[in-house]
Amino acid sequence: MRVAVACDHGGFPLKAMVLEIIRQGGDTALDLGTNSAEAVDYPDFAEKVGHALQNGTADRGILICGSGVGACIAANKMKGILAGVCHDTYSAHQAVEHDNINVLCLGARIIGPELAREIVIAYLGAVFSNEERHIKRLAKVKKLEDELRKS
């Protein structure tokens, strides 16, 4: 699996570790920045991950900012992106299994490195259930996205 990873300055302290976890699991990590703790705008990096998913360069994404929330909001504005903030392992795998998220958002100022490690592993190891009830719900989400784009 190809995983696009990006962060803002608030998420920078966790980025190197997240990239290493991905590689240790046998997946390909795509580092989309930022490359320092200098202040940057999280929407710019959410956009990079979103574009990587939209154009097929990546299969999944991970965004890291201070709380995870700003990056999640920005990513969810992009067509076809289903991003979720997950700060526990249950949410990380369940969000893929039931909600088919393709972007995991983490808050580096909320969780520490060991919990982040476990969350990333849970996210990457999860697979969408393809259960009819989940497919039906996601179709409704897509309909909302399509209708909002028209207005």
Which residues does the annotation mark as catalytic? 65, 98
3-class SS of residue 102: coil
Rounded Cα gap, residues 36 and 51, in angstroms: 22
| Strand positions, DSSP E, the chain | 2-7, 28-31, 60-65, 83-85, 103-107
Rounded Cα gap, residues 145 and 37, in angstroms: 34
Tokens for 24?
């240790």
Rounded Cα gap, residues 72 and 140, in angstroms: 20
